[in-house]
Structure 1
Amino acid sequence: MINSKKTRLTMFAASMVAAAALTGCFNDKSADAAPGVTSFGNGVAQGAVVGAECVYTNNAGASLTPANEPVVTGEDGTAPVSIVGLSAADFPIIIACTGGNYYDEALDTFVSNSGNTMESMIPSLDALAQVGNSVGVNTLTDMATKLFKKVPAAERTGAASLASFKEIIRVIAPGLGLNGGELNLLGASTPIKNGAPVLADNAAGKLAVYLAGLANVAASRPQPFSAADLTKELSLAVTNGTTIAPSVTADILQKTKAYATAKATAVTSVQSDNAGAGGTASTPDSTGATGGTGGTGGTGGSGGTV
């Protein structure tokens, strides 16, 4: 991979923790460097992902080489990372995590994620700091990243990145945008790696419950159909501008609430959430504006309904 030759900074992640709230320190050696720490909580797919390898690309499309390459998720689904040579111009940064084994909450067991890649992104250093230097990579961030990639390359700003997260929240799960907005989707979920998870009623816990709901939606499809298959289906719908049926988003919410109840989690706030609007995710512009969304219902004939 190409090692960035820009202004130098070192980003050190602290030790991996199951709660995915990591902190670190930095050494800023230049005037325009963007100091910070990036680390991952959820890794690939639904629950905790063990052994997924993550790579990074800057806003110009160049690969970034972590000092601790390769970056591979550990037993709790998180991975520390240290990237040297970042500047503010490198953001938004795209993250892609591939392979490993992920915990499927519907099956209550780890399954292979071989050959599957999930994406996420870091809009800016400020956004990174606001989520405690811990970024999630999951089904919903993959959809948001696919939407962001529809923005013309010259217009892929931090505002457009944040707006992409916000748009996926609107379409799929508006409850995830409460008390924190799109940053609730950017931040890592609490990794689930067993059938009796301990989840707090906060942004990380609530996101984990929604990801479990998605796993249960996948399990309800005719088999064999996996959580990875559902990720591909939803992300392809976003990429192609295909309508996501409201029945799908209602099913996600229903199974999310059922999971929270069945596992007796502390995430009670999900019970008052409403289903997402469905429809077509609107591509943002460089300012983060997505334009009118009221007319998206008529796009179903262009590619079918997910």
Structure 2
Amino acid sequence: MQAAKEADVTIILAGLDLSVEAESKDRVDLLLPGYQTQFINQVAQVSKGPAILVIMSAGGVDISFAKKNNNIKAIMWAGFPGEQGGRAIADVVFGHYNPGGRLPLTWYPADYVDMLPLTSMPLRPIDSLGYPGRTYKFYNGSTVYPFGYGLSYTKFNYNIPSAKRYLDIKLEKSQHCRDLEYKEGEYRPSCPSVLIDDLQCKHDFEFEVEVQNVGRRDGSEVIMVYSKPPHGIASTHAKQVIGFKRVFVKAGQTEKVSFVFNACKSLGIVDYTAYNLLPSGKHTILIGANVVSFPLQLNLK
């Protein structure tokens, strides 16, 4: 605390290590062990200059207290870096490198561990027992930081100038429609779905994304693309990643990125009987954290 009172900038390193996170161990909570929370708050409170928090961990940690602390001006998750990790952290903190990463996992709040027992294996939520789902695909609760979250020293805008918005798939005589479970009162198509194993899967859809760097720094952006199944289907995922690309964009400029996806691989769902089905109806293609989106109508005939 005395050093922070005199320093122009305070960098606080905290997190976990192999005594907490290892193949043979189970974490019992999602908090920082020991007195780290108290330590971070006390140092940030008296810091003369901005306080920057660096978290080292393999998994998520509930650092809501730091997120809400106005004295902490930046938070960086460094994972478990290698021998050049210190140099890499310094390059980001001091602005020599413009980061462009994305969280590969959901950071849950601390009370998540009390919402369901360790013995509950389903990824889907169990509403009758009040259990939330697991992973970004099924979790339906609040987060500290969501899957795919990431910041940069610049800002990017997305635009979709062109996209295919419908896809017709003609079924052969050997290909049969399969029923799906829908939420009560929801519209049910005449041909709800088809078994993907019965299709030749030669149906693609493509689109283009314009990425504009509207900030003052050159930087790279990871464009994450999700598909969302038609509304009303019961017990399916909320969304799923179908692809991503990294693009470098100079300040004030725009880059175009093209995507091509196979319908069977990108729009399929898995039902409770473990069948991989392609549902008909209006799918939604999301770019980033729903920054832009467009509908894709899939018709089974």
Higher strand share: 2
- Fold shared, TM-score > 0.5 on shorter chain: no
TM-score, with length taken from structure 1: 0.29
Bigger radius of gyration: 2
Greater length-normalized contact order (CA 8 Å, ≥ 6 residues apart): 1
Q: Which has the higher helix share?
A: 1
